[in-house]
Structure 1
Amino acid sequence: MEITQLLLELSSAIKEIKAHLLVLKQTRTEKFKQAWIDGQEVMLALSISKRTLQSLRDAGTLPYSRINGKFYYKVADLEKLLESNYSQNLKNESHD
């Protein structure tokens, strides 16, 4: 009876580990999918034109990867760009 109980506990533990591994694998896949976005998504997210995006690439301001003529950008690089241009200039905007 004791061995049967141990085997049931072991089986349960293995199933739990398997479930955790599946979640981890899905999380990594989702992170990878979200880590790169194409130029169209960048233009929409930043409200910029195709030419402005090209200028950011040309100036080396925004790193990219190019595959078959299509440009991809890391979300982390976009966040860095936004952070590096962040201004907390809080002027009093009341017009008394």
Structure 2
Amino acid sequence: MSTFKHPINDSLNKINQRLDQLLKFQKQKQNENPEYIIFDNADVMQLFKISSKTASNWREEGILPYVQIKGKLYYKLSDIHAVIDQNYSVKKK
């Protein structure tokens, strides 16, 4: 029985271990400061079930604050919560 380890398997294992460490670090940081949990445009579109045009309109109208970094759009979770809170209504019978 050979105990030879394939270098690709070793590399993949190291990558997986590093990804696990990064995910744990990210979760820890989010728990420390949930203000900076961010979503990208695709996340927001899926969350609200809206089209890219609607998302664009919301940005243009100032409904949903965002930041653009090198063409990529990001939204803070706290801003998403604020939009929901500002537009929340309960219909009375």
Number of positions where the alignment pairs a residue of Structure 1 with one of Structure 2: 68
Provide structure 1 residue ranges, at least 5 long, that are not aligned to the other structure: 1-22, 92-96
Q: TM-score, normalised by structure 1?
A: 0.61
In the alignment, what sits opposite 2:18? none
* Distance in 2 of aligned mates of 1:84 and 1:63: 13
Provide structure 2 residue ranges, at least 5 long, that are not aligned to the other structure: 1-23
> For the aligned residues, what is the CA RMSD?
2.6
* Distance in 1 of aligned mates of 2:84 and 2:53: 18
More relative contact order in 1 or in 2 (CA 8 Å, sep 6+)? 2
The secondary structure found in structure 2 opposite 1:81 is: helix
Change (3 A) 1:26 1:77: closer
In the alignment, what sits opposite 1:78? 80
Aligned partner of 2:29: which letter? R
Q: TM-score, normalised by structure 2?
A: 0.63
Runs of 4 or more above 4 Å deviation: 23-26, 29-32
* Distance in 2 of aligned mates of 1:26 and 1:46: 23
In the alignment, what sits opposite 1:57? 59
